[in-house]
Amino acid sequence: MHIVAVQLEIAWENKLRNRQAVEQLLDQASVEPDSLIVLPEMFETGFSMDLSATAQSEQRESEQFVRDVARRHRSAVLAGVVSPAVEVEARVGKPAIKTASNEAVVVSPDGDILARYQKMQPFTLTGEDRHYPAGSKPCVFQWQGTSIAPFVCYDLRFPELFRAALDDGAEMFVVIACWPAVRSEHWVRLLQARAIENLALVVGVNRCGSEPNLQFDGRSSAFDHLGKCLFEADGSEQVLTTRLDVAAMRKWREKFPALRDRRSPQPV
């Protein structure tokens, strides 16, 4: 499994600029056919609560761009997008509001949607839950014979979500994020913990640069099933690549009993 992680310096709410940056970075990188290319959460806009800037139209032009990237590089692409906005009824006496989904979408080289995951844990500290409601379940897709579960940013703090994906057969987790520099040590250590506790391969792709009120230092990282670091980026815009040893992970799961030894807590 060849991974191509795009740590993007996202231009705030500028979809055209960010698409151009993705194309330039990948054109300069070595992308093997049948790789898995990974772009950050909300890669076109940054972590904005303004649906007029982030949401796709009904034509889903963001996903069309992802399809074009997948087709051009003959690889699968996992990217953070925002669904078209929908109007929802508000309480009596209040105007209707619009919401959308903060998603990770996965597209094959043929343009097929392999997975669509809605972030299960909106970041309430920023009011994300008021604009992007929570998804209800993880999902697992297949690429190059490997079962992969996508997650988005704040999901990383909730290990039970990863256990649920594990129970659905996940062998690898991919976490896309706009994770700020002030908590970046948490980002790296939690990625490593998810690998160790689930005997799983883990790839985390963060953004770098700045938004109006936040700084981002990247630190996109990958870990093998033993928690060994395969790469960790600095704070600059870059493309990182690695090859994940799926066979070694499976052998370790057969040998080491931690997953088989799991027991459910008894009710008090």
Q: What is the mean pLDDT of the chain?
A: 96
Confidence band, pLDDT 50/70/90 cuts, at residue 267: confident
| Percent of the chain whose pLDDT exceeds 90 | 93
Give residue-wise pLDDT tens across range 20-32: 999 999 999 989 9
**Mean pLDDT for the stretch of residues 79-106:** 87
Secondary structure (3-state) at 77: strand
How many CB atoms within 10 Å of residue 226? 12
C-alpha pair distances (Å), 149 with each of 83, 191, 223: 19, 14, 15
pLDDT at 95: 75
CB 153 within 8 A of CB 174: no
Give residue-wise pLDDT tens across range 123-159: 999 999 999 999 999 999 999 999 999 999 999 999 9
pLDDT at 27: 96
**Mean pLDDT for the stretch of residues 60-80:** 98
pLDDT at 215: 97
pLDDT at 32: 96
**pLDDT at position 91 over 70:** no
For residue 152, the surrounding DSSP H or E stretch is strand 146-152
CB 163 within 8 A of CB 192: no
Maximum alpha-carbon separation in the chain: 61
Rounded CA separation 61/250 (Å): 38
Q: Residue 36 is encoded by which pair of tokens?
A: 């898995």
Give residue-wise pLDDT tens across range 198-251: 999 999 999 999 999 899 999 999 999 999 999 999 999 999 999 999 999 999
**Mean pLDDT for the stretch of residues 69-73:** 98
Q: What is the set of active-site residues?
A: 41, 119, 153
Rounded CA separation 151/264 (Å): 24
**Mean pLDDT for the stretch of residues 174-200:** 98
Number of helices (H) and strands (E) in the chain: give both, helices first. 7, 16
For residue 110, the surrounding DSSP H or E stretch is none
- Write 50-55 long-range contacts (CB < 8 A, 24+): 50/13, 51/82, 51/85, 51/98, 51/99, 51/100, 51/131, 53/13, 54/13, 54/82, 54/100, 55/82, 55/83, 55/84, 55/85, 55/98, 55/100
Secondary structure (3-state) at 267: coil
**pLDDT at position 165 over 80:** yes
In angstroms and rounded to an integer, the radius of gyration of the C-alpha atoms of the chain is 18
CB 41 within 8 A of CB 176: yes
The closest of 171, 176, 178 to 151, measured between CA atoms, is: 176
- What CATH class is the domain 2-87+97-255? alpha beta
Confidence band, pLDDT 50/70/90 cuts, at residue 93: low
DSSP state of 120: S
pLDDT at 88: 82
Rounded CA separation 6/38 (Å): 6
**pLDDT at position 122 over 70:** yes
pLDDT at 90: 66
List the Cα angle 148/54/176 in 5-degree steps: 25
Give residue-wise pLDDT tens across range 39-58: 999 999 999 999 999 999 99
